[in-house]
Amino acid sequence: MAREMTNSTKPWIGEIPSHWELKRIKNIIQPSKDGIKIGPFGSALTNKTIGEGEYNVYSQANLIASDFSSTKNTIDSDTFEELKNYEVFPDDICLSMMGTIGKCKKVPAGIRRGIMDSHLIKIRLSESVDSRFFEYVYDKDYGGVCFAQMQYDKKGFIMDGLNTSIVKNLYFPLPPIDEQVLIANYLDFECARIDVVMEQTRASIEEYKKLKQSIITEAVTKGIRPNRPMKDSGIDWIGQIPDDWGMPKMNSVCSVITDYVASGSFASLAENVEYLDEPDYAMLIRTADISEKGYAPKPVYISKHAYDFLKNSNLFGGELMLPNIGASVGDIYIVPKLYERMSLAPNAIMVKTRYVDRFYYYYFLGKPGRLSIEDIAQSTAQAKFNKTDFRQLRVPLPSKEEQLEIAAYLDEKTMKVDALIAKKEKFLAEMESYKKSLIFEYVTGKKEVV
């Protein structure tokens, strides 16, 4: 027989079993001063973290990775003594409070001694609450009940940070302790089974990605015509190429349309380009906006004045875009036809080849092209390369006819692999959604462990 339910009066929770309680977090933590504590002010750690100190500084990264085995920052014993009130102990619950809010992790046993940084809050639960059950309720990637309340409470403003007052006033569904343990045990078992399937799916996706890279690399360096004489390309990561292919510098096969902006000055860009939310005259294309799957984020628009200022970086669709600074160095995209007038934002090189754009798209999408760019970029303090570097790269050059053959072949082959990857990614997303839904149903009592 179904158990009796009651309205929690909280839209993000819905009904809960009538014998459960709904409490604020301030009522389920230890009543002492250690019940809840926010990390030290950022200035308390300014210039005090070191590369290899005796004590760890735990951060949101440890929560996100579910890993307390190491930290980016450490401190020496003197700094630890100054800040030891912020020490993190096994069984403390750490909550993220800035940027990525809603993450929650119990501190495991056996950690290296250390403190929390300014982006964490730690709490100590009363004996009436099981720490595993608390995680399942709170964490945004589990039940997400508390995170849902944070979103509900926004009411038109952006909440990108928490404080102890907000956390203490979050509502928490609370069954009797023995039922909490029963639910946590069940979810540990079920989530572990789901995690195995998800990890196998992720591994399968990575294998398909490796297969795609292998297909591309083979085609753009060896061609697709069988039984032909080969020669050494003179470049380690390319190896042998067909005997009738050339290995010219990139400047003989392409035109670099732009590098950064027409003026080459970020200051000039800031002074002359106003970013608009609504369509005006032209669309600004940023490297973050384009992926292999096409154009994704919300467009940014610019005025005619800005478009004229960026005239050397105006686009028509079909150009190759290569981010030339930062973490995206080595990526490549084909600019889609999105708007009547388009212009390029900073931090990319735009290329129009004199041969077959898609052949060189695949070349730089494959391992040899990426390695050739990374070889230059990684020789600098901050990963970057410029148009002069790009023009000096040596690249395989089949005949235009064979480039078209290879591009068509790779269009077909990669489309099939991409379809398999997309199918796996869809299944992974469905499993992630199912896991969250399963946790939510049990931690709010809508389903019962029997």
Q: Per-residue pLDDT for the chain (450 aa), expressed as one digit of tens each? A: 578 999 999 999 999 999 999 999 999 999 888 899 999 988 888 889 888 889 999 999 999 999 999 999 999 999 999 999 999 999 999 999 887 888 999 999 999 999 999 999 999 999 999 999 999 999 999 999 999 998 877 654 445 678 888 899 999 999 999 999 999 999 999 999 999 999 999 999 999 999 999 999 999 999 999 999 999 999 988 999 999 999 999 888 888 776 544 444 445 555 666 777 788 888 888 777 776 666 666 778 888 888 887 777 788 888 888 887 777 778 888 888 888 888 777 667 777 777 888 999 999 999 999 888 888 876 666 677 778 888 888 999 999 999 999 999 999 999 999 999 999 999 999 999 999 999 999 999 999 998
H-state helical runs in 223-323: 266-272, 304-309
* Distance from C-alpha of 133 to C-alpha of 302, rounded to nearest angstrom: 50
- Which of 396, 52, 425, 404 is closest to 239 using CA atoms? 396
Whether the CB-CB separation of 230 and 247 falls below 8 Å is answered with no
Please give the domain boundaries of the chain with CATH numbers for all domains: 5-175 (3.90.220.20), 176-226+399-450 (1.10.287.1120), 248-395 (3.90.220.20)
Cβ-based neighbours of 221, under 8 Å, separated by 6 or more: 233, 238, 239, 240, 241, 366, 368, 396
Which neighbouring-strand residues pair with 21?
174
pLDDT at 391: 85
- Which of 300, 365, 298, 295 is closest to 336 using CA atoms? 295
* Distance from C-alpha of 284 to C-alpha of 275, rounded to nearest angstrom: 8
H-state helical runs in 34-115: 42-45, 60-65, 77-82
Q: What is the pLDDT of residues 394-426, one digit of tens each?
A: 999 999 999 999 999 999 999 999 999 999 999
Indicate the pTM of the whole model.
0.81
* Sign of the dihedral through C-alpha 228, 232, 233, 236: positive
H-state helical runs in 60-176: 60-65, 77-82, 131-138, 145-154, 164-168
pLDDT at 379: 62
pLDDT at 85: 92
H-state helical runs in 223-303: 266-272
29 DSSP 8-state letter = B
Three-state DSSP string of 236-255: CCCCEEECCCECCEHHHCEE
pLDDT at 154: 61
